[in-house]
Amino acid sequence: MRAARAHRRRHYRGSVPGRRPNKRRDCAAGRFNIQRDYFGVNAEPQIFDDRDFETRFHVPRNVFRSIYLAFKDEPLFQQRKNATGPLQAHPLQKFEAAFRCIAYGDAADLFEEYVRLSLSTVAQATRILLELILRRWESTYTRSPKQSGMKKMMERSAERGFLGCMGSLD
């Protein structure tokens, strides 16, 4: 059953003659919405404060900015012109969509209306952003648990009926 579904799934092929044209997404409006809501535009303050920002992205605004500045020049996140001439999505749009996918664990197509990006772009940006974050900061921020912490986790799991389980994502 699973193999049949995988076989039926269409693979991304990009622009091919004979396919329907891309949707007019108005990437500039998506970028403006993000900047207005979270960073302020034209000397006006942002609509959502730091608390709202952290609630939506699960990271403080300064952490978001530092990650954005670290990776905005990566090839996927650079703003380019498409084959017909107009500019494609701004790096901020891709970061916003990817961060929300990571923060909420939601599907990439949920953010299409606000961010104005396609499902494939958001999915690719999320995957690449996670890979870049891991490559850059995994060795700094991940560590093996200490023996005392490991013992507490195992005891807590045993109390819940999961013998030998180190932890869970409940």
Residue 51 pLDDT? 92
Residue 132 pLDDT? 92
Residue 163 pLDDT? 81
Q: Per the domain annotation, does 54 fall within a domain?
A: yes
**What pTM did the predictor assign?**
0.67
3-state SS class at 163: coil
Residue 16 pLDDT? 65
Q: Per the domain annotation, does 127 fall within a domain?
A: yes
Residue 76 pLDDT? 85
Residue 69 pLDDT? 92
Residue 168 pLDDT? 59
Q: Per the domain annotation, does 135 fall within a domain?
A: yes
Q: How many domains does the chain have?
A: 1
Backbone angles phi, psi at 61, to 5 degrees: -55, -40
Q: Per the domain annotation, does 168 fall within a domain?
A: no
Q: Per the domain annotation, does 9 fall within a domain?
A: no
Residue 105 pLDDT? 78
Q: Per the domain annotation, does 157 fall within a domain?
A: no
Rounded Cα gap, residues 148 and 146, in angstroms: 5
Q: Per the domain annotation, does 95 fall within a domain?
A: yes
Neighbours of 33 (CB within 10 A): 18
Burial readout 72-111 (b: 16 or more C-beta within 10 A, e: otherwise): eeeeebeeeeeeeeeeebbbbbbbbbbbbbbeeeeebeeb
pLDDT per residue as tens digits for the range 139-170: 887 777 788 888 888 888 888 888 877 765 54
Which CA distances in Å does 115 have to 56, 76, 89, 126?
14, 16, 9, 14
Q: Which residues of the chain have pLDDT under 50?
A: 170
Q: What is the DSSP letter of 108?
A: G
Q: Per the domain annotation, does 6 fall within a domain?
A: no
Residue 128 pLDDT? 92
